[in-house]
Amino acid sequence: MKQSEALREKELSATRTFDDIMTECLNNTTPKELSETDRAKLRKIRHVAFDMDGTIYMGSTLFPYTQETLKRLRENGIGYSFLTNNPTKSVKDYLAKLAGMGIEASEENMYTTSLAAIDYIRAHYPSARRLFLLGTPSMVSQFEKAGFEACADSADDRPDVLVVAFDPTLEYSRLCRAAWWASQGLPYIATNPDRVCPTDQPTVLVDCGSLCACIEHATGRRPDITLGKPDPNMLTGIMQRHGLAPDEIVMTGDRIYTDTAMAHNAGAVGVLVLSGETTLETARKVAADEAACLCPAKSAPTNNPASAESAPKPHSPEFHAPDFVVPDISVLCDLLVANCAQQE
């Protein structure tokens, strides 16, 4: 009986989140029909982990509500951090970019996949010093600052570890060199699984996940480990820094297969914003698929193999319905502040 009730609560929660709450949020009103379960979740939150690109800004454009949202969180005693799967910039560069947008932050507020890769190499390959880094000069400088040596694009300059990252400065010869080292069986690390990077420009920015797919097609080799979201270590690192329990932090981002999945993997609260990559249609589809998996008797069979093949898989590590879906971070702030006020 208890298990049946739990499944029913999960199904109702998914339905309410994507129907009632989204309708009200898109009308810029405060949701009035939040369940007590969701209110309790929000009352526990002490810290917000923000994805960056697609969440607080898009490309080089700061969203108009970001500064006011951060101010309101500070005024209500809610901390926040910035983390990103984009390793193209060093922490110093990211802090400078945020400062240029009027956002003050320190190194303690930042965690990037470059730092995650550095931590991973130190823990798992302690003797490694020489790396072939398929990444931007800014990313390379972050590794060099940590004490590593960047190898040249030469078959004679053999690295200890291969690191592949999102690289807008990509040169074809360096991609080929990365594929060569992958084919030679060297330890192979990918900084993040993202397929594309959000942008406010009329183009598609091919991200690390797509570069790794290219290398796999050429060599048959996948990365030994793919860091970054949805790996839970990106979030547990912030928890450790700030002394937080999983239910005291909310992961907020624009991607289901990285941001929402990481929240799920870390046992934290996940909030999807529709200001970046994920559309409402995609969010609804993932929620419907997850609900159908919980209640298979209610799911309708499909006669379209292509559609079934392309649909997100509810129990795939890539796709998990978020706890909440909001248009942008200002609406999340409204929810958090309103529930903080109820707690007082």
Task: Give whole-number Cα distances, 19 to 23, 43, 288, 294, 332, in Å.
Answer: 6, 22, 11, 18, 16
Q: Where are the domains of the chain?
A: 2-83+251-343, 114-226
pLDDT tens-place string over residues 293-337 = 544 433 333 333 333 333 334 334 456 778 899 999 999 999 999
Is 133 exposed, middle or buried (CB count within 10 Å of its CB: 0-12, 13-18, 19+)? buried
Please tell me the predicted confidence (pLDDT) of residue 22.
52
Please tell me the predicted confidence (pLDDT) of residue 239.
87
Architecture of domain 114-226: 3-Layer(aba) Sandwich (3.40)
Please tell me the predicted confidence (pLDDT) of residue 302.
35
Among 268, 291, 279, 289, smallest CA distance to 26 is for 279
Regions in the chain scoring below 70 on pLDDT = 1-33, 290-319, 341-344
Please tell me the predicted confidence (pLDDT) of residue 198.
75
Structure letter (DSSP) for residue 53: B
Please tell me the predicted confidence (pLDDT) of residue 116.
85
Vertex 332: Cα angle to 202 and 266 (nearest 5): 90
Q: 2-83+251-343 with 114-226: one CATH topology?
A: yes
Give the pairing of strands 61-62 and 269-273.
Answer: unpaired
Dig out the tokens for 330 from the structure: 């200002």
pTM value is: 0.70
Please tell me the predicted confidence (pLDDT) of residue 172.
98
Is 2-83+251-343 CATH 3.40.710.10?
no
Please tell me the predicted confidence (pLDDT) of residue 297.
38
